[in-house]
Structure 1
Amino acid sequence: MIAAQSWADARQVWDHHLMHHTPRPCSVIVGLGSHDLGVADVAAGFHLRGLAPVVVFTGSTSPTTRDRMPRGEAVHYRERALELGVPESAVLVEPRARNTGENIRFSRTVLDAAGVNVDSVLLVSKPYEERRAYATARKLWPGVDIVSASSPMTFEEYAATVGDDRMVVDMLVGTLQRLLVYPARGFMIEQPVPDEVAAAYERLVGAGFTSRLIP
C-alpha cells in the first residue's frame, strides 16, 4: 500500500510528464515501443482518423517486455495495429531500438530509407513519457515539428491498467530523473521542472521509489 503523500506526489509528477498537445495531422506517426500495448492502439487510432499516412513502430525488447512481447515491441505493435484495421502498407517497423534516443534515430533511418518526407511527427508514447519523448525528439530531430501524444487517461486509470502501483511510481520517478540529468549529457533539450514537482520527486526518492533511477 502506497502512502497518501507518496500517491499525491506521484500524481503531481504524472501531471508534469503530460504535454497536453492536441493531436493534429502530421507527416508520420511514430509509436515508441514499451510494455504498453496501448501505444499501438493510440497510434492505430490516429492513422484511422487520417492524421498521418504512415506509422512507424520502433522498439526491440527490454527486461520488462521480453516475456510479454517475445518477438519485439515494434513487431507486436504492428500486429496489434493490423488487427485494428491499419493496412499493412501503412506500417513500417524499426525493431532494434533499446532506448528513446535510438527510437528517434532509428525511426529517422527507416523513414529515410522508405523515402518518406517528414516535416512533422505525431509522437505516441506512454502518458508519463510524453515530455521525455518530446524533449528527446526535439534534440535528435531538429527542424521537425513534434506533437507528443498518448492514451488519454488519469494517473489512477493508468496505474489500474498496469496492476502494479509501485512499479508505476518507480517509472514516474525514473523518467523525471532523466528529464533532470539528460540535457547535460546531450540526450534531450532542457525542460524546466517546477519547484513543486522537483520537491515531489525528492520526497518519492526519499520514500524509496528508486528502482528506475540511473547512477
Structure 2
Amino acid sequence: MTAAALPLLEARALSFHRQDEPVFGPLQFRLRAGELALVEGDNGSGKTTLMRVLAGLLHVDEGELLWCGKPLDRDACQGEIVFMGHQLGLKGDLTARENLRVAIGLHGCVGGLAPDLTLQAVGLAGFEDEPVRQLSAGQKKRVALARLVLLPARLWLLDEPYANLDRHGIALVNELLGRHLDAGGAALVTSHGAVGFHGGEPQRIRMHA
C-alpha cells in the first residue's frame, strides 16, 4: 500500500478503562485524508475520553493507534494533530491576536495566513486586541476556530465544536471543515446536534462501553 493510500489514523481494538471499569471499546476505525468521522453516543459513553486519548492527553489502555501506518509516536507527529475540546486552551489575559501568535510560535502556520485576517474571516473583526476573558463564549470559540485554521495540523479532533455558537457560527464550522477536508485534512467530530457536514454523510463511530 502506498503512503498516499494509508489511513492518517487507525484504531485497532482501542479500549479505555477508568478504575478497572470500561469507559469505551474495543473500537476499530480508519480515517483517511479528506474524510470526516462523527463520534456518536449517549452522555457518558466516552466520546470526550476518546478525543483525549487520540490527542495524547490520556494513555491507551488496550489496543493500538497507528499514524500513517506506523505506531503513533506523539513526538514524531507533533503539530500534525490538534484538539479543540470544551476547554479551549486560550489564555484569558492575552488578546485574541496574542493567543494566535503564541500558537503559531509553538506549531507554525499555514503559508499565506495571518492572525488578523483569520480573525476577520471568523467574524472577529474589531476584536483582535480584546482580552479573551472579556469575550463571550461564542467569540472565544471563534478564536479557537481561527487557531485551527492557522495551524498546519492534518487531523482535527473537535469535541462539540458547535456548542455556544449561533446558526452563523454553526455554518462557519461546517465551512471550515469543508475547506480542511478539501485540502487533504481529516477530522473527528463529536456533536449532539444534527449538523449538515461537507461532502455528504460522514463515517460514524458509535461509542459503547
TM-score normalized by structure 1? 0.29
Q: Which has the higher helix share?
A: 1
Greater relative contact order (Cα 8 A, min sep 6): structure 1 or 2? 2
Q: Which has the higher strand share?
A: 2
